[in-house]
A and B are shown apart, each in its own frame.
Chain A
């Protein structure tokens, strides 16, 4: 396993988070979708508060992020965030390709003094 730039404390939190079968299961469910905390809680024979605690441990380890949407708290992995980042960068690239093209058009068509050639 490559731990890259994680500090020892971060690795500890990570291993602690993953050392529990329920938490590993929660994590796997979050990879495929964005379940709400209450939907997660329905899937385990334990209280809502207990599931919430597990989610908090995963969150502290940087494995999941909680996002409030309306009345629900959605839990998703940061793996999704990588996909999200790629999408945002792609959108930014498309927008700026268009802008650069329009700049070139303006420079080519607006007559101005002092231009060579």
Chain B
């Protein structure tokens, strides 16, 4: 089985995904480090990816777009924050304008990739965290109130009492 576990944390806005591949670590690393291989898995068959720029070094950028069935393109970018081949890659992933410049109005995701040898194969752990925009901070604070309407009802009762 390839996918070992998926964990979601709505409060912290993280997703952690663990997969195991029957392939050596260097081979799995190539899927990230070689743009021609990266484009073969990054986009779904309906939206194939084209990597326009691929500078896999700290502060380096990766630029791509995915082409939909009717030809419309959605652009994206990564900025590499740290790198330790073939074991670790950290980057920020976001949406871009058609000219490739980051779209500041859309949320970004911090992606952490960890590869490790395991039983002759490779274990890949991916962790995604939404960058804390104001929106997300409010949302985290909101976690304190569990279910919203009930809380309002409780506060109402408290104030009335």
Contacts and interface: CB of A to CB of B under 8 A. Distances in A.
Nearest to B20: A104
A5 interface: yes
Interface of A: 1-6, 10, 14-15, 18-19, 24, 27-28, 31, 62, 65, 77-79, 81-82, 85-86, 88-90, 92-93, 95-108, 110, 112, 114-117
Contacts, number: 124
B152 interface: yes
Interface string B65-89: 0000000000000000000000000
If over half of A's interface residues share one DSSP class (helix, strand or loop), that class is named, otherwise mixed; here it is helix
B159 interface: yes
Given A92-B109, A93-B17, A99-B42, A6 B2 contact: no
Contacts of A65: 135, 138
A89 B15 contact: yes
B58 interface: no
Interface in B111-161: 120, 124, 126, 128, 130, 135-136, 138-139, 141-146, 148-149, 151-152, 154-156, 158-159
A65 to B, nearest CB: 6
Nearest to A4: B144
Given A2-B146, A19-B159, A100-B17, A107 B3 contact: no
